[in-house]
Amino acid sequence: MARKRILIPGVSSDAALGMIRQLVECGYEVIGADWQRLPLGLHSRHLRTVHPLPGLTDPGFGKNLVDLVRNARPDAFIPLGTATVAIASREAALLKNYTSFSIPEYDAYLAAFDKTRCSTECRKLGIPCPTAYSPEEAAGALKEGEEGVTLVVKPGTDMGMASGVEYVRHADRLQGIVSSCANRFGSVTIQEYIPGDASHMHTAVLLFDGHSELVAAFTTQKLRQWPTTGGITALSRSTDAYHLVEQVLPFFRKWQWKGAAEVEFKFDPRDGRYKVIEINPRFPAYLRFAMGCGLPLARLSAEISLADGGVAPLKYPSYAVGRKFVNPGLFLRTTLKEMRGSSNRFATLGKAVGSLSGTGQTFRGMLSDPLPVLGRLLLDLRNLRGHYRLRR
């Protein structure tokens, strides 16, 4: 009997590498595609070949992705990143002629992707989230609060890596920052700043079947993030926090969600509530962490995409609680920043190294499929070299 074929785009990403490994272990054949060209043609040992795609910002990216699905006709298609989920959701009526998948409908996708709309939806449903401001309201709040108020100005949609996020404390700087953000990203969201470091940040990864029933959930607490003011997970631990899942289920029920989503929360010490910072209509970059803790999200994603009916839900938590995950590159950045601002750099370094205790599983996972990891490292070095050449 022929193996079921699963198409995954963006196969050099850490999320994809974890998914590929588990799918192959479960007996699937993975078809890879990527817009990133790793040096020396390096790619996962689990892939026979990687179909090239144009860059994410290329006008022809969407057409090329749809053409690949049409030509390859995989049994299932699992897009992982924001851009590929958006294209698949928008072109779902066409793609379903060639493959099977489970992703949110386009209106549902936009309800999460548009941050202003998302926070409005959450407030309507009684889900705690930061206070939102119009530019006029924000200016008034800053003037009235003087030195005691901080606001967050950020793009109205997910740009990744906390791109475009600015913290404003003075009214005379607000208009310039808002205008710059709007010109650069097309939309702006202004929210209150919730105090607290990385440990106040929590996440929930949710997976729904084709009938919008919750099949699996995974929760974490961030310990380090990059940028340090708020961004991607650099160090985290798995948690047992089903109350976070329950808190956001009304949003997903309203939109009859299908497929994956990640929710970011921040604990507000002022009122003791966990507030939704954003909902991302996709799996997170740390997807490998959930699977390393024993939650078979790759297998479940394939089964959901291929199933005619529902998939049996897993009891929460169906994974090891208290395990740690590290993104080595981002962890290094956070450590270097801490050392630059420290009066005792050796003590700061020692504390950072100590926090790595229990992260061995992350490195073992990387070593099990080292070529794409090496390829990304070589690509980063090449880009860094080009950056410094431009600065000369």
CB atoms within 10 A of CB 284: 24
Among the listed ranges 24-28, 348-352, 375-379, which one has the minimum average pLDDT value?
A: 375-379
Please give the pLDDT value at position 52: 96
DSSP string spanning 245-304? HHHHHHHHHHTT--EEEEEEEEEETTTTEEEEEEEESS--TTHHHHHHTT--HHHHHHHH
Please give the pLDDT value at position 370: 87
Among the listed ranges 3-12, 237-246, 307-316, 330-339, which one has the minimum average pLDDT value?
A: 307-316
- Could you read off the pLDDT of 124-139 as tens digits, one per residue? 999 999 999 999 999 9
pLDDT surpasses 60 at 218: yes
Instruction: Read off the pLDDT band of 375 (50, 70, 90).
Output: confident
Please give the pLDDT value at position 245: 99
Q: What value does the mean pLDDT of the chain take?
A: 93
Please give the pLDDT value at position 384: 65
- What would the two tokens of residue 102 be? 């489970």
- Could you read off the pLDDT of 328-359 as tens digits, one per residue? 989 999 999 999 999 999 999 999 999 999 99
Instruction: Read off the pLDDT band of 388 (50, 70, 90).
Output: low
Tell how far CA 134 is from the center of its chain.
27
pLDDT surpasses 70 at 391: no
Across the beta sheet with 324-326, the strand order is 273-280, 259-268, 201-208, 214-226, 232-239, 324-326
- Could you read off the pLDDT of 88-127 as tens digits, one per residue? 999 999 999 999 999 999 999 999 999 999 999 999 999 9
Please give the pLDDT value at position 207: 98
Domains of the chain with CATH codes: 5-101 (3.40.50.20), 131-192 (3.30.1490.20), 198-326 (3.30.470.20), 330-391 (no CATH)
Percent of the chain with pLDDT over 90: 81
Phi, psi of 117 (to 5 degrees): -65, -40
Contact 240, 227 (CB under 8 A): no
Please give the pLDDT value at position 380: 79
- Could you read off the pLDDT of 274-294 as tens digits, one per residue? 999 999 999 999 999 999 999
